[in-house]
Amino acid sequence: MVSIITKKINGNEYLYLVHSIRIKQKIIQKTIKYVGKKRPVPKEEFECMKQSYENKDWILDESNDKLSYQDHNFMKKASDAYQEYLENLDRISGEKER
């Protein structure tokens, strides 16, 4: 299970994305990624983080995050709208557009 936890370091609070695994009666947490200073995290941003961790993210590559999590949803909608536009073109116009 993936979740966000708060760690207090030198009096400051920071957010981390962690993956929790239950082994018998013990829960082991593996830190996946530093998120930043403590702040409210929107549900959409958290979902993007989970998808990225599970390698289901279509924007992030293995070496570096190219976009912030807030931009993922916007880019996905733009990509879907462009795909729909291409599907509505006739064959020749579609080939020219691509």
Q: Could you tell me the residue ranges of all domains in the chain?
A: 1-40, 42-98
pLDDT value for 83 = 82
The b-or-e profile of 27-65 (16+ CB within 10 A means b, else e) is: eeeeeeeebeeeeeeeeebbebbbbbbeeebebbeeeee
Q: If you average pLDDT over each of 10-24, 33-47, 49-63, which comes out highest?
A: 10-24
Q: What is the pTM of this model?
A: 0.51
pLDDT value for 64 = 53
Amino acid at residue number 3: S
Three-state secondary structure call for residue 5: strand
Smallest CA-to-CA distance from 71 within 87, 55, 88, 59 is with: 59
